Every structure is written in C-alpha cells, then in structure tokens.
Amino acid sequence: MPRVPVPVPVLVLVLVLVAACTPPGWGKPLPDAASPDGTSSIADAAIDGAATCDHAFRLEGHAGSSSVWLTGDFISWAGNPASGAIQLALGGDGAWTGSYSFTAGPHQYKFIVDTNQWITDPTNPDQVDDGLGGKNSLYTCTP
C-alpha cells in the first residue's frame, strides 16, 4: 500500500490542537504563598518535611491494658502494628504515649485498646462521624 503524504497545513493544525490541549502551567510547580519568588510547591514542602506536623498522643486511664495502638485514615485504619498501626508505650505514670508525623491537612484517628476496643481520644473534643454510628477523633496538621 503506498504512503500518502500529509499536507503541511494539516500537520500544523494537529500540532496546534495538541498544544492547545495542555493546561496552562502544565509541568510548573504550584506557587506557594510563603515563597517570595512563587517557585516552591506544596509537594516540594512535603518532600523537605516542611509540610508535616509531629503530634504527640497520650491516653490515660488504661494502665492495666496490655496494649494501645494508634490507627487512622493516615495509615489506612491498620488494625495492628503488623499492618501499620502505631504502638504506644506505657509510661511509669500509667499513661500510654507515642507520636506520629502527619502530612498537612485533616486526619481521623482512634486508639485501639487491648487489640479490639476502638475508642476516640478522650482529650480531643474535635470529632467527626465515622459512618458506622460512632465517632472518630480529628487532628488537623497546619504546618
């Protein structure tokens, strides 16, 4: 089958249409209000660690428990440390403590006491519906 040459005006039209389909700013970093030159981005800040918050957790009143873990949407609601839940440590004062480094934004979480009792954070009044008739605690990281 012989090749049919494509006329130059058709080729130019195709290139113009392809270029027009690229959104404005494609491939450029998002401007950051905190950046004087507007060249850094939220993604860059997350990579540099600037868009994170280290948050400490403390659960009192469960000194007799065998374990307390932290879980939430930030770790896909892991149900145990083997699947990603954060194991808290029992201190000499009877409180369970631990921390986690969050990315910027809102995060829902709960404590898992003795491997099967999922409870909200009694010291955090910020709660949202969990979709199952209960509540999740809410922490918002604002770097």
- pLDDT confidence of residue 29: 44
- pLDDT confidence of residue 72: 98
- pLDDT confidence of residue 137: 98
- pLDDT confidence of residue 74: 97
- pLDDT confidence of residue 50: 60
Q: Residues 53, 46: contact at Cβ < 8 Å?
A: no
- pLDDT confidence of residue 9: 56
- pLDDT confidence of residue 32: 41
- Containing 45, the helix (H) or strand (E) segment is helix 42-48
Tens digit of pLDDT at every position of the chain (143 positions): 566 565 555 444 444 443 444 334 434 444 444 434 444 334 444 445 468 999 999 999 999 999 999 999 999 999 999 999 999 999 999 999 999 999 999 999 999 999 999 999 999 999 999 999 999 999 999 99
User: Number of H helices and number of E strands within the chain?
Assistant: 2, 9
As a whole number of Å, the CA-based R_g of the chain is 25
Tell whether pTM > 0.85: no
- Sign for the pseudo-dihedral over CA of 44, 77, 134, 96: negative
How far apart are the C-alpha atoms of 97 and 70, rounded to whole Å? 10
Per-domain boundaries in the chain: 50-141
Neighbours of 17 (CB within 10 A): 9
Phi, psi of 52 (to 5 degrees): -130, 160
- 50-141 in CATH: which number? 2.60.40.10
